Amino acid sequence: MNVVFLAAGFGTRLVHIIGDRPKALVEVGGMVLLDHLLARVRCLPDVERILLVSNHHYLEQFRAWQRGSGANDVEILDDGARDAESRLGAIGDLAFALERLGAGQDALVLAADNVLGFELGPLVDRGRATGSSVVAVRRNPDLEDQRLRGNLELAADGRVVAFVEKPEVPIGPWSSAPLYYFQATALGRVREYLDAGGHRDAPGHFLAWLHTREPLQGWEQTGPLLDVGNPVSWAEAEQRIAEDPARYGLRPA
């Protein structure tokens, strides 16, 4: 299995706080976000390659992080984007990474601006047990928040039977998270999706397209996911990690 971190965003909602640096290198709970995620990935038993897709603007900052952290197992890719207007989008970046990986293997794909309060092994296990691609999901009672995310309907066996990205009228109580286990067959469809004019950015659009073509499972998160996407969520993440550091893989201060 391969791992792909999508880290080529420009962090426009946080730039006035974090300055000119990528969100993946923002410190939360005493660690940068990328190190939080790598600690979870390195617990998985059979990872062959770890790729991180950066834009060109932040490339040297990721390389400096790599030198400082000793993360020599991470292959840093430059997608060539120099500003927000030239970005490839999340699915465009996934396609870019897949060109380097080649065909025939499954992959765990993660956004790089989250802290996880759970292990990733059970998500991967679900994909291998079912032979399906898998998206992490949570029950979300907040109607307004449902409109901001991937929204889906699940069958009793966990199969995704409907998926819409950021719907005006949500179809169910489940929201998706930016954690995906893709079978090799699904990864082989990424270029087909893009060539057909698919949305290049929000991955939910790809999942909405994919689930009508091959099986897609929803895996309910076993703990919280802290999205560090704006100043409010950053402050909330700091507070929640301080309250329960062990849940996020940290030792109490």
Block residue for tokens 């410190």: 27
Token code pair at residue 143 = 């109607």
What pLDDT is attached to residue 11?
65
pLDDT digits (tens, 9 = 90+) for 65-114: 999 999 999 999 999 999 988 999 999 999 999 999 988 899 999 999 89
What pLDDT band is residue 183 in, cutting at 50, 70 and 90?
A: very high
User: Which of the four pLDDT bands, split at 50, 70 and 90, describes residue 13?
Assistant: low
> Is 114:155 a contact under the CB 8 Å cutoff?
no
pLDDT in tens, 23-57: 899 899 899 999 999 999 999 999 999 999 999 99
Percent share of the chain, pLDDT over 90: 83
pTM value?
A: 0.94
With beta carbons less than 8 A apart as the criterion, state whether 2 and 51 touch: yes
**Spatial distance between the Cα atoms of 168 and 68, rounded to a whole number of angstroms:** 44
Q: Which residues contact 132 (CB under 8 A, 6 or more apart)?
A: 126, 159, 183, 214, 215, 216, 217
In the chain, the percentage of residues whose pLDDT exceeds 70 is 95
Q: What is the pLDDT of residues 156-171, one digit of tens each?
A: 999 999 999 999 999 9
Identify the DSSP state of 33. Answer: H
* Rounded-to-10 torsion of CA 233, 238, 243, 249: 100
**226-252 pLDDT, tens digit each:** 988 778 888 899 999 999 999 988 866
